[in-house]
A and B are shown apart, each in its own frame.
Chain A
Amino acid sequence: MQQKEDWHLTEKVLHELGRGDPFAAAIRGTRMPMMITDPRQPDNPIVFANQAFQDLTGYSRDEIIGQNCRFLQGPDTDRDAIERLREAIRAETPINVDLLNYRRDGSTFWNALYVSPVRSEEGETQFYFASLLDVTERVEAHAAIAVQKSDIEAQVQSRTADLEAALETKSLLLHEVDHRVKNNLTMVGSLLRLQARAIPDKALRVTLETMLERVDALATVHRRLYQNRDIHRFDAGAFAQDLTSDILAGSGRDDIVLETEVASLQIRAADATALGLILNELIVNAVRHAFADERAGTLTLKVYREGDMGRIMLCDDGPGFAIESVGETIGRTLVSRLSRQLRAETVWRNANPGTCVLVSFPVAE
């Protein structure tokens, strides 16, 4: 009770500046809005509010004293925050909570409220001490940032959707074009094959069939293009193996055994056609000349990488031949011109037995 009487003393001192308890004077004079409530009175009324509190809320002392501090709340004050505050007061524990409060003139401010119980030596809660901090700017800045953030997220989402749609269109288009190229190549092959069948002259037919083999080599390239996720790269190793198997199968020569040792070798997709045509000439030559006259044997294909060079080696165990002496002129010209185009080097050597041809070219990183 003594303490309560002291309190009344400071209430009086308020009107007599310069006298009384210096702590009470400090609380009265501080720029921070503060108040004290008395939980022992019905409805825990405010028994003290300093000048800063009056300045912040616009209420005069007479209007404040005796009120429960809920008189600062209004329709937009968050119910959950109020509930947390009530709970803390019921439990007599300190609490920090941001509340939207209303001034006397109806305007609002964000109040970072701190309330803590003041206990007697016996541990009984005698008062609640509360400090208020106007954090409207901070809260509004946060809200503005949240709005901006969600705006930006919406924009990013919409842009991403646009890009995805564009990509989808592009993939569809690539797919469609790829499909048409393949169909047209199939038609070219079919046309040539049908024509070759109808030609009685053997030499002419052989020439046409040679053309057909080249078109087939292009077809094999195209079947492999765009199979990877990376449409700019082409696996020359798998392709060389495909093409060699295809040509051997097509020759009907099951007496030629194919041995392969093939690593994956990525080249630029743009170089695939030229490489395909070169390999086609080399393989066809080997089949025609190394294994002529139904001679059985083994064809060895090796694809590997050495430093930044890719190498494709094709060896037969035939009687050996010189490139100058075999194949039609156009075949040799194709190999030499296309090698130059690929910055590749194509060399034959006598392997005794047989012949090896080695194509070396720079590989894509």
Chain B
Amino acid sequence: MTMVEERVPAAAAPNVASTLNAREVSAWFGSHKVLDRVSLLMRPNEVTALIGPSGCGKSTFLRALNRMHELVPGASLAGTISLDEVDIYRDAVSVTEIRRRIGMVFQKPNPFPAMTVSENVIAGLKLCGLKIDRSTKDDLVAQCLRRAGLWNEVKNRLNDNGGALSGGQQQRLCIARSLAVRPDVLLMDEPCSALDPTSTRRIEETIAELREEITIVIVTHNMQQAQRVSQRCAFFLAGENAPGHIVETGPTEAMFTNPQDQRTLDYVRGRFG
């Protein structure tokens, strides 16, 4: 990690969203191959939804996109993943820099329990070794919480413990936390699966608002959700003993109304999976 004392601008200029391009990505856990030559272009200003039954490699693919896959002992990977033409695995960019630029929101909300709400929001900056002024701090906290759609609910509880919020609020706090380091891409791994419908709707609204600035990739098991939030879909499927691969990709609209592949049709109609 390079201890660059970057200054964080107070008012964030709108991001120019980035393109994330995965080409022929395969992944293994030990000798077990879980992902077979997946290629997917994740375009700026679009929400790309990864859909498919459990165990088809969606989450593995997502974790490969910001180099979290390699944290599992024995994991390996082949192929190319590039962020705006920078190969994130081969070019001389540090892992921490990649992960800062490609943020991630997890299935289970995981705010840092030892930190307050506002400390949670700026935790990423401290973790990256970025300095921040006291005055810009408050602005940044407010701005990130607003973008995550949480500001009105917690503006009077900024010094409460992060774990004291409700599940849906915790998840939005995690989104705010990811936004604070100004990522180009946000990866979301079933962000609503542990939440109630109201919180889910709130987060879906947040996603829609964020789409203007950030490239978003979301894994979801909920077909309606995929239809609501995404512009583009990729359908993953794994065979009996075969690793997961992409069956079909396309605009969400087309995928749900007129898919090219019979299996996609069956899946989106709820016939299996």
A, B from the same assembly: no
Binding site for A on B (CB under 8 A): none
- Interface of A toward B, CB cutoff 8 Å: none
